[in-house]
């Protein structure tokens, strides 16, 4: 139990105040900031990890589904009823996966008396044979000779020549156009009468009723039902497009202009007879340097006009600074209220060019907007999270008026905002190339203690993407 | 700005609010740290560590009780951890088994200034100083002190009685010095 003595002591001690010295708050503030950065670092690390894991998962899904997709693509047309078979050639080839058209629809088109002109040309006929061969190898039970006989390459040449002639109006048999309703046998015979070569002899069994049989055979191969969820999954994965990007341009610091103005002011003052004040020492002019970025992206169409992109890229930025001679001497410079020992430094006499290089790995996330549906113009805005891998950039000490290497002074985190306008060349389905100007502005300060007035890194250049 | 609002602003990471928070409590908390240590530099080290802890754990302050009391508890804990970690103090915080020392009923006159009293408390050996501060100033029970320092409750009682007796002796001496000086004038 507390008696009077304790109470008196307590009262006296409560009264006591002792103001701390000034640097205490500075140290506390620094520690709080460090803690904040650490937490932010953890957050971004986790975020980046999640993105990478997500990207990896999607990539894995797309790889896995490629195999499954091939089966599904072969199987899907065969799911159609026999009644549909006759019209399968007109099942909008564009909407069907290419394999299925080539493997299944071509023979049907002849049987189904559809115009051959809608069929793929000679290029695709090459793949027909190859793919069919592959299919037969995969499914030996269906590859029964005589029953599932599919067109060979030579046979396809004949078919395409018929197509060609039909298109041009050069009818195979005299001046009479080939009646598509004519049975395939007749076509063959007509061809035979024209060419009269051994090729025709080879064709005979091809263009027969047996041409339909592969479908029948494949139909027997079909599972009773294709898992609808798998189909959905495949469709979802299919919507992701892959893209390789290359940005080439120049990088600099955004407030370099203001810094240069300060330098010019100093020069003007000294030339006009005013003694330059040591305190007005300013860093040398910073000029632009070569920069590039290359990476891999996944893009997904989220609506008719909007597209979402995420990826991973390596960026290289550089800037040029004029510095003086390199001196190897022990000295101390002020940095963040502390003194830092430096064993070599550059004077601020603008004699030599010094290239500051920044190697950064970034995870960009962006949205692309297509303002006009018919024009392949894409406007993109995005944000990235990057980590500085290494740099040789120098730190300017205003008090000592020198440059020295201080890696601690450079922020490891990069959060650049990106905007670009690109024009897309290439088909909707195949490979496409898009190119256009890009600008990038790093939201985070480049240096922790910025005495050179170079807070933000800026990049401008040309962005080219190859989509596949 | 009241304490609750101040905490809210600090939690948003506003530097200005953090500075206000520091300015509001720094001098009173340094006095707390000063009583546990032997030098102002050590006290400032404890203060710095305590404030960093306070800012980190500010989200744990639920507004129950006074903010000042909450920070004070952090400072006291930080100070004790500092003493335990620091070799200069750690050796004096080892308490052996001692016979119970009775607390005297003597009440000295307290004509001393707060700073003078604090200086006398700081002259006590670290073990006595810590237990005296915890019991007489912070109001912890001997049981709690035993748990904090990892000692027996009886040891805490005994140490406190000795510290108290020593301090009263010094206070009396100081009082006598004051009297002599005033007579001389």
The interface predicted TM-score (ipTM) is: 0.83
Beta carbons of A16 and B15 less than 8 Å apart: no
Render the burial of B140-155: b for 16+ CB within 10 Å, e for the rest: bebeebbebbebeeeb
The residue behind tokens 């390199």 is A326
> B101-147, pLDDT tens digit by residue?
666 667 777 778 888 888 899 899 888 899 999 999 999 999 999 98
Cβ neighbors of A432 (< 8 A, separation 6 or more) are: A424, A425, A426, A466, A467, A468
Q: Among A340-344, B12-16, B48-52, which range has the highest average pLDDT?
A: B48-52
Beta carbons of B117 and A21 less than 8 Å apart: no
Three-class DSSP category at A116: helix
Q: What is the pLDDT of residue A285?
A: 78
Residues of B in contact with A31 (CB under 8 A): 48, 52
Q: What is the pLDDT of residue A405?
A: 86
> What interhelical angle do B40-56 and A23-78 show, nearest 10?
30
Nearest chain B residue to A31 by CA distance is B52
End-to-end CA distance of chain A: 82
End-to-end CA distance of chain B: 48
Q: What are phi and psi of A71, to 5 degrees?
A: -65, -45
> B76-108, pLDDT tens digit by residue?
999 999 988 887 777 666 666 555 666 666 777
The reply to whether A36 touches chain B by the CB within 8 Å rule is yes
- Give, for all 468 residues of chain A, the pLDDT tens digit: 557 888 888 888 888 888 999 889 999 988 888 777 777 777 777 777 777 777 777 777 766 665 555 554 444 444 444 444 444 444 444 444 444 333 333 343 334 444 444 444 444 444 555 555 555 554 444 444 444 445 555 556 555 655 555 555 444 444 444 444 444 444 444 444 444 444 444 443 444 444 444 444 444 445 555 566 676 655 655 578 888 999 999 998 875 433 443 333 333 333 333 333 444 467 777 888 999 999 999 988 888 888 899 999 999 999 988 888 888 887 877 776 667 778 888 888 878 889 999 999 999 999 999 888 888 899 999 999 999 998 998 888 877 888 888 887 888 889 999 999 999 887 666 788 999 999 999 988 888 776 556 678 889 999 999 988
The reply to whether A30 touches chain B by the CB within 8 Å rule is no
Give me A368's structure tokens.
């692309």
Q: Nearest Cβ partner of A32 from B31, B35, B52? A: B52
Q: For residue A300, count other CB atoms closer than 10 A to its CB.
A: 15
The reply to whether A20 touches chain B by the CB within 8 Å rule is yes
Q: How far apart are CA B86 and CA B78, in angstroms?
A: 12
The residue behind tokens 């600099």 is A252
Q: What is the pLDDT of residue A89?
A: 40
Q: What is the pLDDT of residue A409?
A: 82
Q: How far apart are CA B45 and CA B83, in angstroms?
A: 11
Q: Tell me the pLDDT of chain B averaged across its residues.
A: 86
Apex A12 CA angle, A7 and A15, nearest 5: 125
Cβ neighbors of A60 (< 8 A, separation 6 or more) are: none
pLDDT band at B30 (very low <50, low <70, confident <90, very high): very high
Give me A265's structure tokens.
């002011």
Q: How far apart are CA A319 and CA A352, in angstroms?
A: 13
The residue behind tokens 């297509």 is A370
Helices (H), chain B: 3-11, 15-36, 40-56, 67-85, 87-90, 114-123, 126-132, 142-149, 153-184
Residues of A in contact with B54 (CB under 8 A): none
The residue behind tokens 């079909």 is A222
DSSP one-letter string for A120-137: --HHHHHHHHHHHHHHHH
Beta carbons of A9 and B28 less than 8 Å apart: no
Q: How far apart are CA A332 and CA A326, in angstroms?
A: 16
Distance from the Cα of B130 to chain A's closest Cα (Å) equals 14
Percent of chain B at pLDDT > 70 equals 89
Residues of B in contact with A13 (CB under 8 A): 31, 35, 114, 117-118, 137
Distance from the Cα of B64 to chain A's closest Cα (Å) equals 21
Q: In whole angstroms, what separates CA B70 from the centre of its chain?
A: 14
Q: How far apart are CA A201 and CA A389, in angstroms?
A: 69
Distance from the Cα of B101 to chain A's closest Cα (Å) equals 16
Beta carbons of B115 and A20 less than 8 Å apart: no
Can you give the pTM of this predicted structure? 0.40
Beta carbons of B52 and A28 less than 8 Å apart: yes
Beta carbons of B31 and A17 less than 8 Å apart: yes
The reply to whether A12 touches chain B by the CB within 8 Å rule is yes
């Amino acid at each position: 139990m507390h008696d009077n003595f304790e109470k008196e002591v307590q009262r006296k001690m409560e009264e006591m105040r002792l103001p701390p010295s000034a640097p205490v708050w500075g140290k506390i503030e620094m520690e709080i900031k460090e803690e904040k950065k650490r937490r932010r670092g953890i957050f971004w690390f986790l975020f980046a990890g999640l993105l990478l894991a997500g990207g990896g998962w999607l990539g894995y899904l797309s790889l896995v589904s490629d195999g499954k997709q091939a089966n599904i693509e072969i199987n899907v047309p065969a799911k159609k009823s026999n009644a549909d078979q006759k019209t399968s050639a007109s099942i909008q080839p564009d909407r069907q996966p290419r394999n299925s058209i080539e493997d299944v629809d071509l023979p049907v088109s002849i049987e189904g008396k559809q115009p051959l002109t809608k069929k793929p040309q000679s290029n695709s006929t090459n793949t027909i044979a190859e793919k069919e061969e592959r299919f037969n190898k995969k499914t030996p039970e269906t590859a029964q000779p005589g029953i599932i006989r599919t067109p060979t390459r030579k046979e396809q040449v004949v078919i395409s020549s018929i197509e060609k002639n039909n298109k041009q109006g050069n009818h195979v048999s005299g001046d009479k156009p080939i009646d598509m309703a004519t049975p395939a046998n007749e076509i063959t015979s007509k061809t035979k009468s024209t060419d009269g070569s051994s090729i025709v002899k080879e064709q005979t069994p091809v263009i027969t009723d047996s041409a339909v049989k592969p479908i029948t055979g494949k139909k027997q191969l079909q599972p009773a039902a294709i898992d609808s969820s798998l189909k959905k999954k495949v469709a979802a994965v299919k919507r992701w497009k892959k893209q390789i990007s290359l940005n080439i341009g120049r990088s600099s610091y955004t407030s370099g202009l203001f810094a240069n103005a300060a330098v010019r002011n100093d020069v003007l003052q000294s030339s006009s007879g005013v003694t330059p004040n040591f305190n007005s020492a300013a860093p040398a002019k910073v000029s632009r340097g070569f920069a590039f970025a290359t990476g891999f992206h996944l893009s997904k169409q989220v609506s008719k006009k909007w597209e979402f992109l995420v990826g991973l890229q390596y960026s290289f930025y550089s800037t040029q600074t004029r510095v003086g001679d390199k001196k190897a001497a022990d000295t101390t410079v002020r940095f963040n209220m502390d003194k830092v020992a430096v064993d070599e430094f550059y004077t601020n006499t603008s004699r030599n060019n010094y290239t500051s290089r920044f190697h950064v790995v970034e995870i960009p996330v962006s949205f692309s907007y297509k303002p006009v549906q018919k024009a392949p113009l894409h406007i993109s805005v995005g944000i990235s999270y990057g980590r500085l891998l290494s740099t040789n950039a120098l730190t300017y000490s205003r008090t000592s008026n020198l440059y020295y290497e201080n890696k601690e002074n450079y922020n490891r985190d990069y959060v650049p905002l990106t905007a670009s306008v690109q024009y897309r060349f290439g088909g909707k389905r195949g490979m496409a190339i898009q190119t256009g100007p890009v600008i990038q502005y790093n939201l985070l300060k480049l240096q922790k203690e910025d005495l050179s007035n170079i807070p933000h890194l800026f990049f401008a250049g040309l962005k080219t993407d190859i989509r596949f | 700005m009241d304490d609750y609002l101040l905490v809210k602003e600090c939690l948003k990471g506003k530097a200005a609010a953090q500075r206000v928070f520091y300015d509001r409590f720094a001098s009173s908390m340094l006095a707390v740290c000063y009583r546990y240590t032997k030098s102002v530099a050590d006290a400032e080290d404890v203060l710095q560590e305590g404030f960093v802890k306070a800012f980190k754990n500010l989200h744990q302050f639920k507004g129950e009780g006074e903010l000042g009391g909450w920070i004070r508890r952090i400072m006291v804990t930080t100070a004790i951890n500092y003493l335990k970690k620091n070799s200069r103090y750690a050796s004096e915080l080892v308490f052996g088994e001692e016979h119970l020392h009775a607390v005297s009923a003597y009440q000295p006159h307290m004509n001393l200034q707060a700073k003078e009293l604090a200086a006398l408390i700081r002259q006590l050996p670290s073990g006595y100083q810590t237990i005296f501060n915890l019991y007489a100033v912070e109001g912890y029970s001997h049981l709690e002190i035993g748990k904090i320092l990892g000692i027996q409750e009886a040891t805490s009682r005994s140490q406190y009685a000795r510290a108290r007796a020593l301090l009263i002796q010094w206070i009396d001496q100081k009082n006598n010095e004051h009297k002599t000086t005033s007579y001389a004038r």
